Each structure stands twice: as C-alpha cells, then as structure tokens.
Amino acid sequence: MSTPPEPSQQPEPQPGAPAQPTAYPYPGPLSPSPAAPGSFPPPAPPPGPGQQGFYGGPTMVGQPLQPQPGNPYVAQAPYGPVAAPQPGGGPGAGRAVLWAAVGAVVASAAWAVGVFVIGGKDSAELRGYTAPSNLCADADYSSFKDEYPQDDSSPSHTSLKDGALDQSYCSVGLKKTGSSYADAYLSIQVDLHKRTDPGPEFTATWKNYRKSHTGYDVETVRNIGDEAYLVTQDTTNGSSGSSASGSRYATLAVRDGWMTYTMSYSVYLSSYDQDKNPPQLDEVSDWLRADTKATLDRLQG
C-alpha cells in the first residue's frame, strides 16, 4: 500500500487540469479567486468613452445607461424604461416635445385663471353692499317707533373685516314709553361673503327652517333681494294681559347675490314684564318688511 504524499509534496495543478475535489464541495464566501490565489478580484476600472458598462451596455461620458435587448439589468425610470432620443429622428420628435411643453404651460395658465375667476375675490356678487362698522347707526327700524318710542341709550354693535367675510351686527332694546328695561329686542346682521357663494346654504337653512325647528312657520317673501323668507313663532296663543306668557318671534332673512341679511324681533311675556300687550306677529312682519327694504337701500347706496 502506497502512502499518500505529504501536503508539501502535493503535485502542482497543471494548467487546464480539472480542479481537485475537496472535503467541502461548495465555495465559501471568502474563497480565494482562481485568477488571483489568496486575494479578491480588484474592482473593474470605470468604463471609458465607448467601452462596455458594468451591465453590458455601452456607456458614454455624460449619458445615461441605455436599454439593451435581452439585458435584464436595464436602467429603469420610476414609471418604465426611458428611451433616449435617437440621432436622425427627424423633426417630428422635436415637435412632439415642443407641443407637450406648450400644452403643460397652457394647462397651468388655465388652472390659474380658473382659480382667480371662479374662487377669487373678484367673482363675489356683492352688488355694492357695504358692512358698516356701526350698523345700529345705519340701519332703519323706524317702523317700530310707534310701538316702542323710547330710544335704547346703549345699543350694542360689532363688525368684522376679513378677506373672506365682512360682517356687521346690531342689537337694540325696544322700549315702550315709561319702561325702565327693554320690552322687546331687535337684532340686525349683514354678511358680505367674498370668497364663497352663500346661496345653497342660505336656502337650505331658511326655506327648511321648520323641518329642523318645530313650532315655526316659514313664508316666502317676494320682491326683496334674490330670495327672502319670513320665519315666525308665537307660543302665547294670542293671549295678552296680566296672565299672558310665552314668546313671539319673527325673522326676515334675505339673500341678494353674495350678501345675506337678517332682521329679527323677539318678545318674552311673563308676570314680571311691564309690557302686557305686545304687538301681534302680523304687525311685526309688516314692520320687518318695510325696515329691511329701507336698510338694504342704505347699505347699497
């Protein structure tokens, strides 16, 4: 029996001879490269002009990788391969790029115009109305003077000026002759909507008022603005005198373009009130109509 040679006596592999088997048949992660025993292959130098790129395609300096037929490592754009313009493609390709750019500019301009015209300030139909800083001084409520001749010495008012909305509000205490406190109340408000059309919401709120508030009556009022609604409620059942109780309420709501307006009257009856005979709602409704027309004329003048 022959003895296997010592490791130092192992024969050198001949060029072109098959590799000898080892005890571990798979190459390890740190297996030396056959081309350079005991070392790793050096990185390949960057390809020069006209040379093969790393994925097999020719790479020109300053140019992106181009797709190669049958190459699974095609340079991909986020939404698919990008085809580079080909020399000699003719004027059609240039015109297509030009028209695409022009289309993008036109679309952007149309969008900007749409935002300016449809949703901008210039589209608001304010029709010359103003929202004064002191609506109590500018409002007309003279129709109530016969019933409530005594002036309120300190009516309250507020106002708001904003890019989207101008608003004025006034609250007046109505007093009969000799009354120390208000016998009834009148509130007036005007809103100028400068950014959004209040029409659909105004109609939904006032035309359908009794659907969301039980016990109220709603009447459509003609010849005031674009649309107007009179909302009333009487819980006194028409009673008066020392035993009267309950309340009477009336609001006239008007929309004219993008201006909305409300004038509201309210009175509360109890044994503590000095006024035992407040006006009927029919009278109050007539006063609201007359004073609303007069006030809107002032605010539009």
Beta strands in the chain (DSSP E): 76-77, 80-81, 156-161, 165-174, 184-193, 217-220, 227-234, 246-256, 259-269
Cα Rg for the chain, rounded, in angstroms?
Answer: 44
Instruction: State the pLDDT at residue 191.
Output: 98
Residue 117: is it exposed, middle or buried by C-beta count within 10 angstroms (0-12/13-18/19+)? exposed
Of 151, 160, 153, 147, the C-alpha closest to 191 is: 160
Instruction: State the pLDDT at residue 186.
Output: 98
Q: Do residues 188 and 167 lie in contact, with contact meaning Cβ atoms separated by under 8 Å?
A: no
**What domains appear along the chain, each with residue ranges and CATH number?**
135-300 (3.40.1000)
Instruction: State the pLDDT at residue 203.
Output: 97
Instruction: State the pLDDT at residue 271.
Output: 65
Instruction: State the pLDDT at residue 95.
Output: 56
Per-residue pLDDT of the chain (301 residues; tens, 9 = 90+): 444 444 444 445 455 544 444 443 444 444 444 444 444 444 545 544 444 443 444 444 444 445 555 544 444 444 444 444 455 555 555 555 555 555 554 455 444 444 344 444 458 999 999 999 999 999 999 999 999 999 999 999 999 999 999 999 999 999 999 998 999 999 999 999 999 999 999 999 999 999 999 999 999 999 999 999 999 999 986 566 666 788 999 999 999 999 999 999 999 987 666 677 899 999 999 999 999 999 999 999 7
**Which letter does DSSP use for residue 51 in this model?**
S
Q: pTM higher than 0.95, yes or no?
A: no
Say how many Å lie between the first and final Cα of the chain, rounded: 128
